[in-house]
Every structure is written in C-alpha cells, then in structure tokens.
A and B are shown apart, each in its own frame.
Chain A
Amino acid sequence: MLLLGPINLINDLLLKFFSADTVNYVLWPLIQIGIVVTLVALWVAYATYLERKISAFMQARLGPMRVGPWGLLQPIADGIKLLVKEDFIPDKADRWIFFFAPYIAVASAFIVFSVVPFGPDWAVIADVNIGLLLVLAVSSVGVLALILAGWSSNSKYALLGGLRSSAQMVSYEVAMGLSLIGALMFARTLSLSGIVAAQGADSIWYIVYQPVGFLLFLISGIAENNRAPFDLPEAESELVAGFHTEYSGMRWSLFFMAEYAAMVVVSAVGATVYLGGWYFPFVYRLETAGHHNLYVIVSLLVFLIKASIILYIYFWLRWTLPRFRYDQLMDVGWKWLIPSALINITLSAFSIFIVQALDGWKSIHTIERLDNGLNLTASGKGIMIVSGLIGLILTGLLLSRINWRSRDFNLRTQRRNIRLVNLPKGKPAVPAPSSGG
C-alpha cells in the first residue's frame, strides 16, 4: 500500500514530538475533524449542484452547464457570489441574535458528524456510547436557530416561518426518535459504530427487519429538515422565504448550508442505522488479506454511496410531490407517523420476544449470539423478515382503519356549521327590496 504509506509516516513523525496519548486522543482527532469538516462542506456544496442537476433532468432540462465542464464549478461560483454580497441587517432587528442564529444552525448540523462512523478504525472521529442520542439531541438544537432567526428578524413573514418550522420540527422529532427504537432493539447499543458492527455481525441490514422503521425515519427526516413536500416554513407562495426572509449574503448561505448539512446528517444516520453503514458483504476479506487501509477506504466509499442513495431519495421526492397543506402536515405527523412508530415498537418487541421464546424449544435454534447485537440464525432471520413485512401491512391497515376519513369528518362538520344559517338554497341572504314598493 504505497499510497497510504504517508499516514503511517505522519503517525511516526507525530510520535517523535508528542506522547502516544496526545497523538491518539488530541492530534489525530483534530486532523480527522479538519478533514471531515472540509469534506462535508464540499459534499454539501455539491449536494446543491446535484439537486439542481437532478431537478433539471427530471424536467427534461440540462441544469447548470456554463461554469466549468458540465457546470461542475457552479457551487464554488455561487459561494463566492454569496460571500461578496452585502450582508444586510434590518433596522429594527435584534442585532446579536440575528448575528448568531445562522452559526447555531450550521454548528448543530456539523457537530453531528463527530459521531457518524464514516468507516471502520480511523474513519470515525469519536465512538461515543450514546451516539444516536447525541445525534438526535444536537440536530434538534437546529430548531432553536430557526426560532431565533424568525424572531430576531422583526418581520411578520420571518416570524410565521419560524413558528411553522419549530412546530413542524418538534412534532416530527418525536416520530423520528420513536422510529429508531425498533432498530435499537436489534443492535442493543446506542453507539453508531456499535450499530454498524451489530449489522455486520448479523450480516444483514436493518432495513430488512424494520421496513416500517426505515420509512418512518425517512419521512420524518424529510419533514424535520423542512424539505419538500414538507417545506411549509419556506413556502414561497405563502411566506416570502420563511425564517430567512430578512437574511442576505453570507448569513443566508449559512442557513442554506445548514439545511443541506442537516440533509446529509439524516442520510448518514439513516444509512448507518438502516442500510448497514460502512458494512458491505465481502469487503472484510480485504482486512483478512492484510490490506487494512484499503479496507477502510473501500468501506468509506460504501458508506458514501449508501448515504448518497438516501440523499437522492430526498431530491426525488422533492421534485415529484407537491407541498402539503399545514393541517395535512400535522395530520401526517400526529395521526400517522407517531402511532405507526408506536405500533412498530410494539410489533418488533413482540417478534423479538417470539424469537427468544422459540429459541431452544423443540430443538429450534433462532439466536446465535447476543454479545454483539442480536445475531439470529437463518430461521430467526426468516421469522424477523416475515414479521417486518407483516408489520408493514398491519400498520397500514390499522392506521387507515383508525384514520378512515378523519379529514372528511372534519370537513363535514365544517360544512354543517356553515349550513346552520339555514337559508334556502339559491336565494340571497338579505331579500332584495321589491322594485315596485
């Protein structure tokens, strides 16, 4: 591995000047943070490029073509343009909060990357045992930035946008957290690296066990990032631009970056929890063959591809579906997503209970090991996959039964209320004065 020799060289060089602990716990993490921040910023920039391209392709257009070959330098040109634009602050705005809101948004999106496992070994900055909890906690701080931005702008559109987005994000946060629990029951750990390792040890992706959980995570993730079809806070036809109406120049672009970084975060976490993270069948053979660094890099690429697939689903949904109405949005959140997340938890707990009860009964063997997540044998996997699919159908049936024409019901009462005036049809409310008298 000539290409990866420099990594060991740098390590040796650092060890000459610092102690082993300093190198391992201070210097390498700093280098990793630098690399990850740079790469994620680049990823975010090119996510905008990809979104423009994909939206163009879906509408039989070409998208950006002029800056560089195939418009590849377009994000850089956009960034420079935004940097040199005037950074305008409204007269009556709350200056300091207006200053700091974008930074909170960006920071809350970027901090999450500290625990995301991009690959095995040196491709992860920090492997904390509360990884998933940290992801949820930090990414929900982003709501604060939106509220502050909306409030401090001192503009009615910005305030309305901030209120909408905070209501939306708070209500979808619940569904997002609950949808992850099903997968955690199989992984038996909150550490993101641990979840990936559990999937690797079980040699399966949790999307197979948890189709409902994956769908819920995806939908609530899209809603949490205020993306179409849930982009009510930025509904340009109703509120000018939502919470960032009054922002311009670099601060606006920070919000833009935060939005895309949050998307990348959700796709990275989704890929980690449901699509097996950097785990891919047969890649570990490189490790056993002795190519350690190559193994890490191939795993990293696998992770990036998986996250990009989820990112593509984001764009795909955005350019296909129209925007929800506000009551429909709350409907989806509270009447569908949260109940189905609860049903999913119950069902997966029940199926795990069945698998554990079946283990060792009449020489049926379902559980292989428990020390590295829930590792099932082939029969156990079969039971789990079938129960996951049954859960998908069952959840849909149950909720459509419960929510059966719930919206129609509301409309009916509204109509009845209107009709309560009890006027005969087709006549004006105030009888016109007769012409003769």
Chain B
Amino acid sequence: MKVKTPIPTLKQKLKRFFMVDLIHGLTLTLKYNLGALFEKDAVAGKAIYTEQYPKVRPDVAPRFHGAPRLNMDPETHDTLCIACNLCAIACPEDCIDVLAMDVEIIVAGKPRRKKVLDEFIFDTSRCMFCALCQEACPTSCLELTQDFELATYSRAGFVWNREMLEQGREKVKYTS
C-alpha cells in the first residue's frame, strides 16, 4: 500500500536549507538576553519579570484588602473607635468582637457616663476581607490595609487583639 507524504514547497525547502527557524529561535533568546541586560521595563519589553520578594515587597492592587488596623487620632493618639458595634453587626462572618466599658467623665460641669472601647477582637482566620466593616465604620477607624503577610505559627496567632490592631504586627526586614 502506498503512503502519501506531503511534498514540501520551494519556500519550505529554502526555509529548511537556510535554517530560518533555527536562526529565528536563536535571535529570540538573544533578544531576551540583551533585553535583560539593557531594558528597564519588563511589561513593555523583554526585561526581567522576577520580583525579589522578601527584599522588595510588591505593590498590590489599589482595591486589595489585607490586614485590619484600628486608626488613631494622629494628634492625641486616642483611638477613633466609639465602640458603636456597627462593624460587628456588619460582619457576615461574625469575626469581630467589640468590648466596651463605661467611664465617668465631666461634661459641662456634670458627671456623665460614656461608652468607650475596652478591647477589640478581630479573628483574621475567619475574615474573608470583604471590607464591609470598613464601610460600616462611622469614624473611619477600622480599616483593611494593603499588608498581606498574615501567616502565623499557630491558630491562636490569627486572633488579633486591640494592641495588635493599633500597632500593627512586627515586620521582618530583609537586607541583601
């Protein structure tokens, strides 16, 4: 039985003889090599895409939601939280606990009782970073920051208390 094999055209023959595809491949790799040495912009050209991660932290997307933070008044360093519990109500995962206490203050010469924040528990292991709490907060105290390094060594480490939320966690700085 005769088997038909396709006969190459003259163009294909010439391409094969002058090894056009081989040269094309070689120029491509050479271009990338030179691009890595001389070009600056990886996205536009053929330069390096690698991020030096722990040394250089990448810029995340502007709408990214990461680690929570309780903002403070920049002048008095008092918390902005008024213990209204709106964030805990808004949270679909029930991961926020706001514990308030009453304190006595003098307003216009009369003793008054005021509700202030005692402790703020935020369980990041259950959080899905929807930022509904951030939307609900009337004083823009609770905020989800762009920090994305949330891993810890134990499950208990995922539960952040007020101090952690206000100060932020300690970041490891890497040099060289």
Contact = CB atoms under 8 A, between A and B. Distances in A.
Interface string B142-176: 00000000000000000000000000000000001
A57 B1 contact: no
Interface stretch (A238-246, A300-308, A350-358, A408-416): A408-416
A319 interface: yes
A68 to B, nearest CB: 9
Interface string A411-427: 11001100100100000
A416 B3 contact: yes
Nearest to B1: A419
Contacts of B16: 400
Nearest to A411: B5
A66 B55 CA distance: 10
Contact of B32 (A58, A408, A416): A58
Given A316-B26, A319-B29, A57 B3 contact: no
Contacts of B49: 60-61
Contacts of A411: 5
Contacts of A56: 36, 48, 50
A411 to B, nearest CB: 8
A61 B48 contact: yes
A59 interface: yes
A415 B42 contact: no
Interface centre among B32, B36, B46 (most CB of A within 10 A): B36
Given A400-B17, A415-B3, A57 B52 contact: no
Interface in A183-240: none
A69 to B, nearest CB: 8
Interface of B is mostly: helix
A419 B48 contact: no
B62 interface: no
A394 interface: no
Interface residues of B, number: 24
B5 A412 contact: yes
Interface in B68-89: none
B52 A60 contact: no
B105 interface: no
Contacts of A422: 1
A62 B25 contact: no
A400 B18 CA distance: 11
A129 interface: no
A419 B36 CA distance: 52
Contact of A60 (B3, B25, B46): B46
Contacts of A321: 22, 25
A56 B29 CA distance: 11
A57 to B, nearest CB: 4
Contacts of B176: 66
B90 interface: no
B60 interface: no
Contacts of A30: none
Contact of A57 (B17, B25, B26, B48): B48
Interface centre among B1, B26, B29, B46 (most CB of A within 10 A): B29
B36 A316 contact: no
A347 B135 CA distance: 84
Interface string B39-66: 0001000111110100000000000000
A61 B50 CA distance: 5
B13 to A, nearest CB: 9
A317 B48 CA distance: 20
B25 A320 contact: yes
A66 B174 CA distance: 11
Nearest to A57: B36
A58 B3 contact: no
A419 B22 CA distance: 35
Interface centre among A58, A65, A415, A419 (most CB of B within 10 A): A58
Given A316-B26, A316-B30, A319-B29, A57 B37 contact: yes
A419 B3 contact: yes
A34 interface: no
A344 B39 CA distance: 42
A56 B36 CA distance: 9
Contacts of A389: none
Interface of B: 1, 3, 5, 16-17, 22, 25-26, 28-30, 32-33, 35-37, 42, 46-50, 52, 176
5 smallest CB-CB distances across A and B, nearest first, come from: A57-B36, A62-B50, A320-B29, A58-B29, A57-B33
Given A60-B47, A60-B50, A400-B16, 4 more contacts: A58-B32, A60-B32, A60-B35, A415-B3
